[in-house]
């Protein structure tokens, strides 16, 4: 079914969707990321969402481009974590001058170095790293100054953009078709170990070791209390000193490609997503929830950022604020296969119905359509 007929049959009561579809199908769209970007979750997923509505798009990395020449064919450019440079600024001004539209994309709290350094991991980095983070924030702000609007994924990011003087457009982090397929295959091939309850922490970045500290006391308590419990730290994390006494009951596994991630998560009985309460983490999306839900694994998370908005405690996951709440949530799930099944099934149903590229595509179409309608020449 083409994008036009999908608009006709699925959302005929939304005139702005019709107008957006009309405008975007007449644009040459490019998603551009950088070495600092999240090309898959933003650019590739964005291209997939637009394709579902009959809108073509190209995905590129700025480091591989010759600027301004390589952006000249496009008249709608979306920039994901691309810091400004002289040639990029020239290219963006040329696009705007000829009636094109430039849109930023912000998926983390990266505009203010003080906000980034509110996270313990970044705050403890060497001076050179902290200086680099400051330069990145400055470069992103310069880029966004040349954008008419900026896509963002959470309430906190939207608020941050307004505070910094930019025009936000809310969109949604979601699961791609390939993520759905990989999770489906993993569920068929992988099972958790009988007689053992496996708690799993999937970390995609070394900074998550600071987040793990939020649940550390609860994990110690539970491993002491329930001999059948074990913990898997995924992503190349070294176990904290407090957990080393549990020996082989704490397993460290290396970082894996995202296509292999569902096979690892399917080994978990319960997934955890602890987050330090800080300004930086308030911008975090619900991606950890999506990844666990696709595998029908219940998630216990800190109510920080979008996780606290997407998870309805006791309905499609659990939220834990204090060590006592973490212990209670983990103990209850460890001791109740029925509860694990119920929460895992509900979260899976929620994601498949509401948080896939197909379900969220109209939101992106409307957002980019609005950017085209309201374009402001820098």
CATH code of residue 368: 3.40.50.2000
Residue numbers of the domain that contains 256? 177-354
pLDDT for residue 190: 78
**Residue 3: band (very low, low, confident or very high) from pLDDT cuts 50, 70, 90:** very low
**Residues 328 and 16: beta-carbon distance below 8 Å:** no
What percent of the chain is modeled with pLDDT above 90? Answer: 90
What digits encode the pLDDT tens for the residues 87-132? 999 999 999 999 999 999 999 999 999 999 999 999 999 999 999 9
What digits encode the pLDDT tens for the residues 162-187? 999 999 999 999 999 999 999 999 99
DSSP secondary structure string, 336-352? Answer: -HHHHHHHHHHHHHHHH
Cα 311–chain centre separation: 15
Sign of torsion over alpha carbons 313, 361, 159, 290: positive
**Residue 195: band (very low, low, confident or very high) from pLDDT cuts 50, 70, 90:** confident
Question: In terms of domains, do 278 and 155 share one?
Answer: no
pLDDT for residue 37: 93
**Residues 7 and 21: beta-carbon distance below 8 Å:** yes
Query: When comparing pLDDT for 237 and 293, which is higher?
Result: 293
Question: In terms of domains, do 94 and 199 share one?
Answer: no
Question: In terms of domains, do 71 and 113 share one?
Answer: yes
Least Cα distance to 235 among 279, 300, 186, 291 occurs for: 291
Rounded to whole angstroms, the Cα distance separating 378 from 373 reads: 15
Strand 197-202 and strand 229-234: the pairing is parallel
Query: When comparing pLDDT for 276 and 6, which is higher?
Result: 276
**Residues 20 and 366: beta-carbon distance below 8 Å:** yes
Question: In terms of domains, do 168 and 189 share one?
Answer: no
> How large is the greatest C-alpha to C-alpha distance in the chain, in angstroms?
67
Question: In terms of domains, do 268 and 152 share one?
Answer: no
Question: In terms of domains, do 247 and 341 share one?
Answer: yes
Question: In terms of domains, do 30 and 106 share one?
Answer: yes
pTM of the model: 0.93
CA angle 251, 328, 342 (to 5 degrees): 80
Rg (CA), the chain: 22
Check whether 12 has a pLDDT greater than 70: no
pLDDT for residue 348: 98
Burial tier of 43 (Cβ tally within 10 Å: 0-12, 13-18, 19+): buried
Q: Indicate whether 68 belongs to any domain.
A: yes
pLDDT for residue 9: 53
Query: When comparing pLDDT for 238 and 154, which is higher?
Result: 154
Residue 193 backbone dihedrals phi, psi, to 5 degrees: -75, 125
Average pLDDT over the chain, rounded to whole?
Answer: 94
Residue pointed to by tokens 């987040």: 211
135: tokens are 């330069």
**Residue 375: band (very low, low, confident or very high) from pLDDT cuts 50, 70, 90:** confident
Q: Indicate whether 378 belongs to any domain.
A: no
Residue 251 backbone dihedrals phi, psi, to 5 degrees: -105, 130
Q: Which residues, 6+ apart, have CB-to-CB distance to 85 below 8 Å?
A: 67, 139
75-96: b (≥16 Cβ within 10 Å) or e? bbbbbbbbbbeeebbebbeebb
Cα 257–chain centre separation: 16
DSSP-H helix ranges across 61-207: 86-97, 113-116, 120-123, 127-145, 155-163, 177-189
pLDDT for residue 13: 57
Question: In terms of domains, do 348 and 361 share one?
Answer: no
Question: In terms of domains, do 228 and 126 share one?
Answer: no
pLDDT for residue 372: 96
**Residue 11: band (very low, low, confident or very high) from pLDDT cuts 50, 70, 90:** low
What digits encode the pLDDT tens for the residues 13-66? 577 899 999 999 999 999 999 999 999 999 999 999 999 999 999 999 999 999
pLDDT for residue 265: 97
97-110: b (≥16 Cβ within 10 Å) or e? eeebbbbbbbbbbb
What digits encode the pLDDT tens for the residues 67-94? 999 999 999 999 999 999 999 999 999 9
In the sheet that 229-234 helps form, which strands lie side by side, from edge to edge?
Answer: 250-253, 229-234, 197-202, 270-273, 299-301, 318-319
**Residues 258 and 244: beta-carbon distance below 8 Å:** no
Question: In terms of domains, do 8 and 154 share one?
Answer: yes
Number of domains composing the chain:
2
Q: Indicate whether 249 belongs to any domain.
A: yes
Rounded to whole angstroms, the Cα distance separating 167 from 133 reads: 23
Question: In terms of domains, do 233 and 337 share one?
Answer: yes
**Residue 356: band (very low, low, confident or very high) from pLDDT cuts 50, 70, 90:** very high
**Residue 206: band (very low, low, confident or very high) from pLDDT cuts 50, 70, 90:** confident
326: tokens are 């973490």
Q: Indicate whether 64 belongs to any domain.
A: yes
Burial tier of 151 (Cβ tally within 10 Å: 0-12, 13-18, 19+): buried
SS3 10: helix
What's the whole-number mean pLDDT along residues 346-367? 98
Check whether 8 has a pLDDT greater than 60: no
Question: In terms of domains, do 266 and 369 share one?
Answer: no
Residue pointed to by tokens 């990011």: 157
What percent of the chain is modeled with pLDDT above 70? Answer: 96
Q: Indicate whether 126 belongs to any domain.
A: yes
**Residue 377: band (very low, low, confident or very high) from pLDDT cuts 50, 70, 90:** very low
């Amino acid at each position: 079914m083409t994008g036009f007929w999908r608009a006709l049959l699925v959302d005929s009561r939304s005139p702005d969707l019709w107008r957006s579809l009309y405008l975007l199908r007449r644009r040459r769209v490019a998603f551009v990321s950088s070495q600092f970007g999240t090309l898959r979750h933003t650019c590739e997923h964005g291209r997939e969402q637009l394709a579902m509505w009959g809108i073509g798009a190209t995905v590129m990395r700025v480091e591989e481009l010759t600027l301004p020449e390589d952006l000249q064919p496009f008249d709608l450019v979306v920039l994901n974590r691309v810091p400004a440079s002289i040639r990029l600024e020239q290219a963006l001004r040329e696009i705007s001058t000829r009636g094109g539209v430039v849109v930023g994309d912000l998926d983390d709290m990266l505009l203010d170095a003080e906000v980034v350094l509110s996270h313990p991991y970044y705050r403890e980095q060497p001076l050179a790293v902290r200086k680099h983070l400051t330069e990145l924030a400055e470069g992103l702000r310069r880029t966004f100054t040349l954008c008419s609007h900026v896509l963002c994924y959470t309430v906190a990011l939207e608020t941050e953009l307004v505070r910094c003087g930019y025009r936000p457009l809310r969109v949604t982090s979601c699961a791609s078709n390939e993520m759905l397929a990989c999770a489906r295959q993993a569920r068929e091939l992988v099972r958790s170990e009988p007689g053992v309850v496996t708690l799993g922490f999937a970390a995609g970045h070394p900074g998550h070791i600071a987040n793990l500290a939020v649940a550390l006391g609860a994990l110690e308590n539970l491993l002491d209390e329930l001999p059948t419990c074990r913990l898997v730290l995924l992503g190349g994390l070294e176990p904290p000193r407090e957990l080393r006494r549990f020996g082989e009951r704490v397993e460290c596994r290396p970082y894996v490609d995202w296509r292999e991630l569902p096979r690892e998560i399917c080994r978990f009985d319960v997934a955890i997503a602890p987050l330090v309460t800080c300004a930086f983490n308030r911008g975090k999306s619900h991606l950890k929830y999506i990844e666990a839900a696709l595998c029908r694994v219940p998630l216990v998370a800190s109510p920080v950022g979008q996780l606290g908005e997407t998870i309805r405690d006791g309905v499609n996951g659990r939220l834990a604020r204090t060590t006592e709440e973490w212990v209670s949530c983990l103990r209850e799930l460890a001791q109740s296969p029925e509860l694990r099944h119920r929460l895992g099934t509900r979260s899976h149903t929620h994601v498949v119905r509401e948080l896939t590229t197909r379900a969220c595509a109209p939101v992106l179409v409307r957002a980019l359509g609005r950017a085209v309608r309201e374009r402001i020449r820098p």
